Amino acid sequence: MASSEPSSWNRRVLPAGAFQFALIAGVTQLKTAANALVLSRFESQALPYLYLLGALMTASLTLLPRGRPDGPTESPGIL
């Protein structure tokens, strides 16, 4: 028999869903504004190359050596 009280799972779903919605909405707005800024300064043909540059930078950061797993920080030291 189901109880009328909301379980702890139900109390956590609404804030988590609201956070996900706000995060996705914020990223969408930020990407739209960033693309508009790039297009206002450069030609539209530059956008694919800028995306490739961003992907290459991200890939190169993932290849940096990490600190010791038991160290105080596990982030790359260069950052």
Asked if residue 3 is part of any domain, the answer here is no
- Rounded to two decimals, the pTM is 0.50
pLDDT value, residue 18: 94
At 42 the three-state DSSP class reads coil
pLDDT: which is higher, 33 or 4: 33
pLDDT value, residue 25: 97
Confidence band (pLDDT; 50, 70, 90) for 67? low
Distances from the Cα of 62 to the Cα of 17, 72, 77, angstroms: 29, 19, 12
pLDDT of 12 above 80: yes
| Token output for 17 | 């869903």
Q: Work out how many domains the chain is built from and give that number.
A: 1
Q: What is the pLDDT of residues 19-58, one digit of tens each?
A: 999 999 999 999 999 889 988 998 888 888 988 999 999 9
Asked if residue 70 is part of any domain, the answer here is no
Asked if residue 12 is part of any domain, the answer here is no
Query: Rounded to an integer, what distance in angstroms lies between the CA atom of residue 79 and that of residue 73?
Result: 11
**Residue span of the structural domain in which 53 resides:** 32-61
Asked if residue 66 is part of any domain, the answer here is no
| Token output for 50 | 């800028």
Asked if residue 9 is part of any domain, the answer here is no
